[in-house]
Structure 1
């Protein structure tokens, strides 16, 4: 969650703006240990930035908790609109505003879209927002390949700003706390997850078949959604006392 104990002027300006815009998570990651992975996915320019700002906005529980009824059009449309499109728009606008602030202070900043595909073959963005959030200490990568926060589970949308500004690093990767749980693996309607725990050395394909997810969504109505791995995670349900 957002903390406000930094004494660095630029850090304070960024944190205050993030708070003012209603974000739930703010962190800064050192990208050095992940540089090779970042370069392989997004190229040299993306990998040239030493730090990443990771910002998250929590999805409303009232929307996520309806996902077992996702085959009803009203439920699906609301999840896609308010749980996805609107939050992503809020994140994109905030990232743009913060990048302008950083640039005005004499540093470089590259905001990455909250949800835009970069590689159709691998079905991925130019950089993993989940990786940046993991390196910033927000949570760990679960068996669903989602970023799991201790308090809200995977019920969070993320965005990343790459920068060379000398911001204070806020955290480090958290240890995995999924244990023997396979709820996300078991509930997936197309068995897209293998149940193999996250390892930095393994390619995503060891844990997750992204093509299966895409084919499942494309085989339904235009408004079809899934999100059952987001719904079922005990770390998200626990906050509600379930």
Structure 2
């Protein structure tokens, strides 16, 4: 079994719902601007995703109830991120054992408070791996379950076979995520790789909205409302 097959097999056996390999050369300048030269030096990325339970996401219209919010934050966010981090660590060790470099990027750790971003966009890696497209909500939309997925990325120099390419957007005239946002954080502008995130999304508005609520407050309405998630995978 070659390394490509081994990594995919372990990922799926240990709970990943999505596995893909991206060619990062297509977005090197963007990656370097966000994460620096070391991050941008890796030619490949493994993109892993775990689906969030529909039973948790579908409760989000009642997110003002503490039980709903706490369950979403714990099961739909913290636990899945932990599973992703452990899986990325396991796969990275397998890559290193084969004599290559692997750098797992934490599932949810901010490194730039001013820009409100991580060292690498997991959504961008998933997009480049062919998992889906970047929607008007700035979320990665998969054809199967919409944005109801958490992602993690492993950067590597291993000569892995690229599994896909960026998918064209299929949001069309839909504005449900734009309309439901309680702070109008989305501009209704379709994704274009040359545009900065601010053209589509004002992250500070989300940050302020959640910061003004209770300690356990969540939102996630853009995850809930997307038709590609609500109407599929049930």
Match of 2:120 in 1: 127
Match of 1:149 in 2: 142
1:23 deviates by 0.8
* Matched ranges for 1:227-242 at <5 A: 227-239=220-232
Match of 2:202 in 1: 209
The answer to whether the aligner puts 1:180 opposite 2:202 as a matched pair is no
Match of 2:17 in 1: 24
The answer to whether the aligner puts 1:83 opposite 2:47 as a matched pair is no
Match of 1:198 in 2: 191
How well do the aligned residues superpose, as a CA RMSD in angstroms?
0.8
SS in 1 for 2:145: coil
1:161 deviates by 0.1
1:240 deviates by 5.5
The answer to whether the aligner puts 1:55 opposite 2:74 as a matched pair is no
Q: Which runs of 4+ in 1 moved over 6 A?
A: none
**Cα 1:142–1:106 shift into 2, 3 Å:** same
The answer to whether the aligner puts 1:103 opposite 2:92 as a matched pair is no
Unmatched 5+ residue regions in structure 1? Answer: 1-7
The answer to whether the aligner puts 1:159 opposite 2:152 as a matched pair is yes
Unmatched 5+ residue regions in structure 2? Answer: none
Match of 1:113 in 2: 106
CA distance in 1, matches of 2:197, 2:13: 35
1:157-186 deviation per Cα after TM superposition (whole angstroms, max 9, x unaligned): 000000000111000000100000000000
* Matched ranges for 1:36-55 at <5 A: 36-55=29-48
What TM-score, normalized to structure 2?
0.99
